[in-house]
């Protein structure tokens, strides 16, 4: 089969951009390039280095944006779509990532484009959105479900949701993870004054749905010498992210590292004593898969995407319940330094969340879409 030419919309871009969709695209499209996919990824200025035009066989097209959360995604997607339409004969399909950009799926189809949508999360559940914003995102979900040629769901929960609510069959293709090198304590731990095995780790953007306010509140009630480390930054600085930073500044045992990547992030993951994900909302969290890949002990809120990955109720707590979270933290840190390699977690991600398998499954969806278009 000849080369498949794909335009990619809905991501901020890569490499090294914070966010689950961005990590997904950074891992997926270079692998697809090796299978004969020519991908053009439309990235957003101010998140990426505009001088980088190519990354591991993937073309990056950077467009200016309005840095406003209510307009940024949809305007960037519209601009990218208008550029694609001008050269639509060279594209076999457009790959829309998530439900916000999918609001423009009907327009893409009307203009003669084939569309694959990846459903990453129910974005309208995030507390940052107004009632109008939630309504628009639900409309985007409907548009993607109704007009996409093919749908990919990153979790079993989202696949079932598509079937139950829209009578659309989605292909389950999860996020992936690569088994990492376990780096010893080094310059990064020294920089943040951390001891291997003696800190609790949370990783993610500083937004309310990640639940870091609950984690901080629960941690403040603990005794002992453990530290709490939160790795991440805010895309749009607001009262919430500033309040988290203020809480950290007031407590010498809480460390906010900002966004980290590469070897620094590897070192922080590898030497954590416990990984906690207190989220109110997720798709299929790459950070949790990463924690598994490092063999970390984990503690997670009881939302469906987490329960899809974790079956042990001893390491689950009710979402938003600070007391229950504090009790679990106290129990799991009571033995002092405790850094156990959880081989079952490593095996889980090796068998079920391998990026090469994710890539092959995505390529099969592309082939099916293109073949149907030519039939």
Q: What is the pLDDT of residues 249-267, one digit of tens each?
A: 888 899 999 999 999 999 9
Categorize the per-residue pLDDT at 25 as very low, low, confident or very high, splitting at 50, 70 and 90.
very high
pLDDT given at position 224: 82
pLDDT given at position 337: 46
Report which of residues 221 and 187 the model is more confident about: 187
Instruction: Assess whether pLDDT exceeds 50 at residue 338.
Output: no
- CB of 40 within 8 A of CB of 80? no
**Does 187-351 match 4-176+354-374 at the fold level?**
yes
- Cis peptide bond prior to 115, omega within 30° of 0: no
If we measure between CA atoms, which residue out of 53, 58, 103 comes closest to residue 78? 103
Measure Cα distances from 49 to 53, 94, 263, 282 in Å: 9, 23, 20, 28
The b/e string for 137-157 (b: 16+ C-beta within 10 A; e otherwise) is: beebbbbbbebbbbbbbbbeb
pLDDT given at position 372: 77
Domain boundaries, the chain: 4-176+354-374, 187-351
Please state the pTM of the whole predicted model. 0.89
Among positive and negative, which fits the CA dihedral 191, 195, 196, 200?
A: negative
Q: What is the pLDDT of residues 298-335, one digit of tens each?
A: 999 999 999 999 988 889 999 999 999 999 999 998 86
Residue 297, token pair as written in the block? 């002990």
Q: Give percent of the chain with pLDDT exceeding 70.
A: 97
pLDDT given at position 221: 80
Strands (E), 124-178: 150-153, 171-172
Instruction: Assess whether pLDDT exceeds 70 at residue 189.
Output: yes
If we measure between CA atoms, which residue out of 17, 23, 136, 151 comes closest to residue 73? 136
CA distance 14 to 43: 7
CA distance 211 to 222: 18
Instruction: Assess whether pLDDT exceeds 60 at residue 3.
Output: yes
Region 187-351: CATH code: 3.40.50.2000
The b/e string for 230-244 (b: 16+ C-beta within 10 A; e otherwise) is: bbbbbbeeeebbeeb
Residue 180, token pair as written in the block? 């990492």
Average per-residue pLDDT in the chain? 93
| Strands across the sheet containing 227-231 | 254-258, 227-231, 199-203, 274-277, 298-301, 316-317
Instruction: Assess whether pLDDT exceeds 90 at residue 362.
Output: yes
Categorize the per-residue pLDDT at 341 as very low, low, confident or very high, splitting at 50, 70 and 90.
low
For domain 4-176+354-374, the CATH superfamily is Glycogen Phosphorylase B; (3.40.50.2000)
SS (H, E, C) 256-303: EEECCCHHHHHHHHHCCCEEEECCCCCCCCHHHHHHHHCCCCEEEECC
pLDDT given at position 335: 64
pLDDT given at position 375: 55
Q: Mean per-residue pLDDT for 54-78?
A: 90
Q: Give percent of the chain with pLDDT exceeding 90.
A: 80
Q: What is the pLDDT of residues 278-307, one digit of tens each?
A: 999 998 999 999 999 999 999 999 999 999
109 three-class SS: helix
pLDDT given at position 209: 94
């Amino acid at each position: 089969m000849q080369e498949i030419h794909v335009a990619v919309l809905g991501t901020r871009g890569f490499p090294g951009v914070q966010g689950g969709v961005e990590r997904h695209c950074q891992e997926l499209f270079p692998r697809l390039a090796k299978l004969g996919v020519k991908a053009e990824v439309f990235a957003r200025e101010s998140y990426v280095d505009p001088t980088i035009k190519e990354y591991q066989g993937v073309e990056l097209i950077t467009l200016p944006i309005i840095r406003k959360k209510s307009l940024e995604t949809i305007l960037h997607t519209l601009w990218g779509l208008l550029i694609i339409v001008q050269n639509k004969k060279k594209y076999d399909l457009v790959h829309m990532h998530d439900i916000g950009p999918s609001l423009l799926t009907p327009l893409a189809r009307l203009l003669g484009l084939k569309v694959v949508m990846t459903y990453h999360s129910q974005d309208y559940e995030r507390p940052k959105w107004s009632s109008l914003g939630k309504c628009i995102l639900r409309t985007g979900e409907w548009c993607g479900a109704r007009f996409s040629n093919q749908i990919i769901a990153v979790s079993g929960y989202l696949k079932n949701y598509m079937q139950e609510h829209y009578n659309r069959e989605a292909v389950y293709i999860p996020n992936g993870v690569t088994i990492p090198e376990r780096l010893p304590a080094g310059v990064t731990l020294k920089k943040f004054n951390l001891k291997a095995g003696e800190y609790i780790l949370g990783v993610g953007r500083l937004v309310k749905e990640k639940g870091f306010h609950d984690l901080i509140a629960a941690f403040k009630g603990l005794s002992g010498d453990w530290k709490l480390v939160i790795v991440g930054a805010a895309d749009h600085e607001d009262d919430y992210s500033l309040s988290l930073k203020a809480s950290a500044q007031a407590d010498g045992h809480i460390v906010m590292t900002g966004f980290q990547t590469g070897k620094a992030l590897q070192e922080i993951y590898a030497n954590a004593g416990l990984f906690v994900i207190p989220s109110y909302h997720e798709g299929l969290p790459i950070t949790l898969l990463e924690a598994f890949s490092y063999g970390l002990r984990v503690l997670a809120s009881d939302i469906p995407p987490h329960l899809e990955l974790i079956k042990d109720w001893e390491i689950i707590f009710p979402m938003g319940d600070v007391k229950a979270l504090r009790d679990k933290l106290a129990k799991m840190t009571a033995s002092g330094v405790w850094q156990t390699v959880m081989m079952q977690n490593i095996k889980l991600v090796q068998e079920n969340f391998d990026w090469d398998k994710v890539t092959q499954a995505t390529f099969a969806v592309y082939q099916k879409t293109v073949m149907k278009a030519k039939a």
